[in-house]
């Protein structure tokens, strides 16, 4: 493919993935505004986030596999149209119920991540694959940061509905360009979608993530929470059994057992726990009135500006990661990224009394996110056959999301376990929460150290594809 065409293809992929990443975090700071505008209860409003999380978790690996089978461009365009429709319905939603349904449709966009990585692997020159994946990962990471920073100014200057109208305009312009310029994938997996495997995967993910996101309201010891956790365990065991016996599994468990894949996924689980939890709790911390003994009484816009160093740092380090990949290797980048996350959160647990403490932590953590995102995708893509790229990278993104749900749930227990008479958490709750997240990121760095080191140069082409079922050593 000519270089100009690959640039246009990358621009399409980056726009779609960036918009989806932005939608993950864009609505969170504005949730109280949405709740008030739609005359909804807080418990109902939280479903605007929960529905999106569950939908993305289900569709990301399934549509990643569909793309492997029927063509990544075709699936990419269909997913972009779904995101467009979801944003349009959300912008016009007359009530909270319609908005929640729209968020379910938007969650289909989670498949943009694995589809984009697969298209890059298929269409770009081998020498450009690693750098392009790093750059796309930087855009994905920065998209989440843009959501946190931009939500306040958009709501203040316009209206919360513009949180969806803006993505409508961007995606509407992207779809025809994708149809015209993104080439169809030459690599196709054989077989068909294992719908039983897809159903069981969806069932255990929902049974796991739903109680994690709602346990604060339902109670950790409630019948609903314990029953769903038990159901998740049974469904997960059933899914493993079905996938192991299937001739065309949705997720090839042999690929998941490759040393470079399972160690990277373990690091993704732990790092995701730290990353998504800090995105969820740090804005609330800085918005807490000073009368609570901590916090700065910041507005939504001010809290977004305090997170701005994270946005800038994660984008720069993600792009720089692509340049450093031939020198450092993705293993060293993942280890460094997770270690920087642990360092930032450790600092935050000890020092959070000044605004510059928050800005400093945000910047350091952003450096870690950029490096970790780029390296995780590169490690997985380099370790699996081309026809498994979508399913494998989709599962990696899913595992990161599961980690985020676990980290947010555990942090919520520590932060809200004891409340002041005013109803606000004690400062010690946040300190304990930040300490836990630092330990989780430290665990991610330890898992990254277990990634096998490749001692020879990377082999590509048919030989690499035939050898993919064997343990892959990745630098």
The CATH code of the domain that includes 439 is: 1.20.1250.20
- Report if residue 448 sits inside a domain: yes
359: three-class secondary structure by DSSP: helix
CA distances 301 to 75, 304, 469, Å, are 37, 5, 49
Same domain, 307 and 243: no
Same domain, 237 and 175: no
Same domain, 261 and 280: yes
Domain encompassing residue 219:
194-247
Retrieve residue 344's tokens: 């930032």
Q: Averaged over 146-152, what is the pLDDT?
A: 82
Lookup result for tokens 């016996």: 245
- Is residue 351 predicted with pLDDT exceeding 60? yes
Same domain, 130 and 56: yes
Task: Write down the pTM of the prediction.
Answer: 0.81
Q: What is the pLDDT of residue 158?
A: 86
pLDDT in tens, 300-333: 788 888 888 998 898 888 888 777 777 888 899 9
pLDDT in tens, 203-242: 999 999 889 888 878 888 899 999 999 999 999 999 999 9
- Report if residue 474 sits inside a domain: no
Phi and psi at residue 183, to the nearest 5°: -75, 155
Max Cα separation, the chain? Answer: 66
Using CA atoms, how far apart are residues 142 and 283, in angstroms rounded to an integer? Answer: 17
Q: Which residues pair with 425 in a beta bridge?
A: 419
425: three-class secondary structure by DSSP: strand
Same domain, 213 and 312: no
pLDDT in tens, 431-451: 999 999 999 999 999 999 999
Phi and psi at residue 249, to the nearest 5°: -70, 150
Q: What is the mean pLDDT of the chain?
A: 85
Same domain, 336 and 457: yes
Phi and psi at residue 419, to the nearest 5°: -120, 150
Q: What is the pLDDT of residue 140?
A: 83
- Report if residue 308 sits inside a domain: yes
Using CA atoms, how far apart are residues 409 and 272, in angstroms rounded to an integer? Answer: 13
- Report if residue 475 sits inside a domain: no
Phi and psi at residue 26, to the nearest 5°: -65, -35
Same domain, 200 and 185: no
- Report if residue 472 sits inside a domain: no
Same domain, 328 and 396: yes
Same domain, 203 and 312: no
Same domain, 178 and 203: no
- Report if residue 473 sits inside a domain: no
Tally of domains in the chain = 2
- Is residue 468 predicted with pLDDT exceeding 70? no
């Amino acid at each position: 493919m000519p270089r100009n065409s690959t640039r246009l293809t990358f621009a399409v992929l980056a726009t779609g993935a960036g918009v989806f990443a932005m939608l993950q975090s864009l609505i969170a700071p504005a949730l109280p505004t949405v709740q008030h505008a739609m005359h909804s209860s807080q418990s109902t409003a939280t479903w605007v986030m929960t529905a999106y999380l569950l939908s993305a978790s289900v569709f990301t690996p399934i549509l990643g596999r569909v793309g492997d089978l029927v063509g990544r461009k075709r699936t990419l365009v269909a997913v972009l149209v779904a995101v467009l429709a979801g944003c349009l319905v959300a912008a016009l939603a007359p009530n909270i119920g319609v908005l929640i349904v729209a968020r379910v449709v938007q969650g289909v966009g989670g498949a943009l991540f694995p589809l984009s990585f697969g298209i890059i692997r298929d269409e770009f020159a081998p020498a450009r694959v690693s750098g392009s994946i790093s750059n796309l990962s930087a855009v994905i990471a920065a998209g989440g940061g843009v959501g946190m920073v931009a939500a306040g100014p958009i709501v203040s200057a316009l209206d919360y509905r513009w949180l969806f109208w803006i993505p409508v305009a961007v995606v509407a312009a992207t779809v025809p360009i994708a149809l015209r310029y993104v080439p169809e994938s030459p690599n196709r997996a054989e077989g068909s979608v294992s719908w039983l495997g897809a159903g069981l995967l969806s069932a255990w993910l929902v049974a796991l993530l739903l109680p994690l996101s709602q346990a604060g309201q339902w109670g950790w010891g409630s019948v609903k929470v314990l029953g769903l956790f038990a159901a998740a365990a049974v469904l997960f065991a059933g899914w493993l059994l079905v996938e192991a016996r299937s001739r065309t599994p949705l997720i090839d468990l042999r690929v998941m057992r490759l040393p470079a894949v399972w160690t990277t996924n373990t690091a993704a689980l732990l790092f995701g726990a730290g990353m998504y939890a800090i995105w969820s709790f740090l804005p609330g911390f800085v918005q807490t009135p000073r009368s609570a003994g901590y916090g700065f009484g910041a507005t939504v816009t001010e809290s977004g500006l305090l997170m701005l160093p994270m946005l800038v740092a994660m984008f720069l380090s993600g792009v720089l990661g692509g340049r450093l990949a031939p020198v450092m290797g993705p293993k060293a980048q993942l280890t460094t990224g997770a270690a920087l996350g642990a360092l930032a959160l450790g600092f935050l647990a000890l020092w959070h009394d000044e605004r510059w403490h928050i800005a400093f932590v945000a910047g350091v953590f952003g450096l870690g996110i950029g490096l970790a995102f780029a390296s995780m995708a590169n490690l997985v893509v380099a370790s699996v056959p081309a026809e498994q790229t979508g399913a494998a990278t989709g599962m990696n993104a899913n595992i990161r999301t599961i980690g985020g749900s676990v980290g947010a749930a555990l942090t919520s227990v520590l932060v809200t376990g004891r409340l002041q008479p005013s109803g606000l958490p004690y400062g010690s709750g946040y300190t304990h929460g930040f300490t836990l997240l630092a330990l989780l990121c430290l665990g991610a760095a330890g898992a990254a150290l277990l990634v096998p080191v490749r001692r020879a140069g990377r082999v590509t082409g048919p030989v690499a594809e035939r050898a993919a079922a064997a343990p892959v050593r990745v630098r």
